[in-house]
């Protein structure tokens, strides 16, 4: 497990929120490295930086929130939640404040966000031809990604696929 300020968080996820100078009103997500959470913001539509994601799920998957340590927080509530640890989603009791994004309301939400190595290959509905890698039964394989939708079992490089899914990933 890594902490939010650890080297394991991609560099783009350490960038500050940047709405850019334009005046459009696009809802986007950015990773707040200090909190270990993806937060929404209004993007102006131009410039800004790469810490800018269309969905919360895209932010969470790109910024490796599934590798954050479980954080119960200092508050005294006892809320049943799920966190991802070494290839599986586990139950824990959340205190109710100051946690991080490795904290899911349901087992299904945890699995959808973090168990990307078990997802089927998904080209997506678009027609671009991006070379990508996906994890299948113990190895990373090449495929062509259409450029939109798809799922988290979609890596830009072989090394990225192997780092996420081959070790220390534990398949159930």
The dihedral built from the CA positions of residue 120, 150, 5 and 98, taken in this order, carries a sign that is negative
Average pLDDT, the chain: 89
Q: Is 157 in a helix, a strand, or coil?
A: coil
Q: Is 119 in a helix, a strand, or coil?
A: coil
pLDDT at 149: 77
With respect to residue 163, please indicate whether it lies within any of the assigned structural domains: yes
With respect to residue 132, please indicate whether it lies within any of the assigned structural domains: yes
The domain tally of the chain equals 1
| Full residue range of the structural domain in which residue 164 is found | 116-172
Location of structure tokens 């969470």: 60
The two tokens of residue 19 are: 């709405």
With respect to residue 89, please indicate whether it lies within any of the assigned structural domains: no
What is the domain-level CATH number for residue 147? Answer: 4.10.410.10
With respect to residue 122, please indicate whether it lies within any of the assigned structural domains: yes
Q: In the chain, which residues have pLDDT < 50?
A: 1-7, 170-172
């Amino acid at each position: 497990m890594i902490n939010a300020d650890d080297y394991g968080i991609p560099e783009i996820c350490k960038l500050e929120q940047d709405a850019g100078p334009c005046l459009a009103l696009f809802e986007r997500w950015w990773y707040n490295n200090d909190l270990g959470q993806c937060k929404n913001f209004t993007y102006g539509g131009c410039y800004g930086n790469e810490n800018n994601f269309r969905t919360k799920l895209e932010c969470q998957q790109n910024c490796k929130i599934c590798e954050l340590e479980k954080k119960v927080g200092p508050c005294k509530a006892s809320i049943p939640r799920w966190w991802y640890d070494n290839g599986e989603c586990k139950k824990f009791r959340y205190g109710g404040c100051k946690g991080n994004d490795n904290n899911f309301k349901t087992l299904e939400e945890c699995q959808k966000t973090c168990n990307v190595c078990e997802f089927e290959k998904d080209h997506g509905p678009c027609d671009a031809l991006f070379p990508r890698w996906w994890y299948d039964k113990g190895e990373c394989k090449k495929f062509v990604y259409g450029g939109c939708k798809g799922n988290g079992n979609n890596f830009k490089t072989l090394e990225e696929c192997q780092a996420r899914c081959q070790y220390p990933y534990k398949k159930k």
